[in-house]
């Protein structure tokens, strides 16, 4: 049963809400198919849903939003669909970068830069540089990203430091985490997946270790403030023990 949605600016309970929320934005293609429209139009409506969600997040107490934009596996999609997705990146940054900067949003792109079209790489670099001074809200877009690939990259970064003589320390959890694309962002509290699917699809595998999971039966183009508020309220009603007993967690947090 879905929890009743609180007003975005008035939390329904005293339980702390999530600071860092990640969303797997799923269902663009099915949304378009159900309406007899091309998949490209589903992706474009998905961009509008993203804009609504970004605007709503700070009012729900969220400091960091990480969204899955394009995975390392998405390159296997039809060429015209990949081209359209790349075009949406160009359009979104061109139309919204100034607004994001003015709103105090810092934009950070997670994922491999190698293999991206040259103009996309330049757009990403510009967007990150132009918003680097902002600290009101952190928006992370996983683009050309895969959780397994990120873990491999983090391990290779540590190995490179060892080979360069910069460290002789063993590879620890802390060292590996410091090499991830998400290093420096708040700990992940909540992962939301839309469209009714219930899997992580190679998204934030390390970070998901103790995150709460919420699966919502809503196609991404229909997403917005109310759906996000419902996910946050579901999170507030969870009991997070991190592998310990409730009494132990309460004692630590007291």
Active-site positions read 26, 74
- Token pair in block for residue 113: 């830069």
Which stretch of DSSP H or E encloses residue 217? none
Indicate the helix (H) or strand (E) that contains 44: helix 39-56
Q: Which one, of 5, 41, 38, lies nearest residue 220 by Cα?
A: 41
In eight-state DSSP terms, residue 10 is: B
Instruction: State how far the Cα of 218 lies from the Cα of 106, in Å rounded to an integer.
Output: 28
Cα distances (angstroms) measured from residue 242 to each of 39, 84, 164, 250: 40, 41, 37, 11
């Amino acid at each position: 049963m879905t929890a009743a949605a609180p007003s975005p600016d008035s939390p329904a309970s005293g339980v702390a809400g999530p600071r860092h929320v990640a969303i797997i934005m799923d269902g663009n293609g099915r949304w378009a198919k159900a309406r007899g429209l091309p998949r490209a139009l589903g992706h474009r409506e998905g961009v509008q849903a993203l804009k609504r969600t970004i605007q709503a997040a700070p009012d729900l107490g969220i400091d960091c939003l990480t969204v899955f934009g394009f995975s390392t596996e998405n390159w296997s999609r039809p060429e015209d669909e990949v081209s359209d997705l790349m075009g949406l990146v160009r359009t979104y940054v061109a139309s919204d970068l100034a607004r994001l900067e003015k709103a105090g949003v810092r934009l950070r792109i997670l994922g491999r830069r190698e293999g991206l079209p040259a103009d996309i790489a330049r757009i990403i670099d510009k967007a990150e540089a132009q918003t680097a001074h902002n600290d009101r809200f952190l928006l992370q877009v996983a683009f050309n990203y895969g959780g397994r690939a990120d873990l491999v990259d983090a391990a290779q970064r540590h190995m490179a430091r060892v080979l360069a003589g910069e460290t002789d320390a063993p590879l620890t959890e802390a060292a590996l985490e410091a090499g991830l694309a998400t290093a420096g962002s708040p700990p992940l509290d909540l992962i939301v997946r839309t469209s009714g699917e219930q899997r992580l699809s190679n998204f934030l595998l390390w970070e998901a270790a103790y995150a709460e999971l919420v699966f919502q039966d809503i196609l991404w183009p229909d997403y917005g403030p109310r759906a996000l508020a419902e996910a946050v309220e579901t999170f507030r009603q969870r009991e997070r023990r991190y592998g310990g007993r409730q009494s132990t967690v309460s004692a630590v947090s007291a």
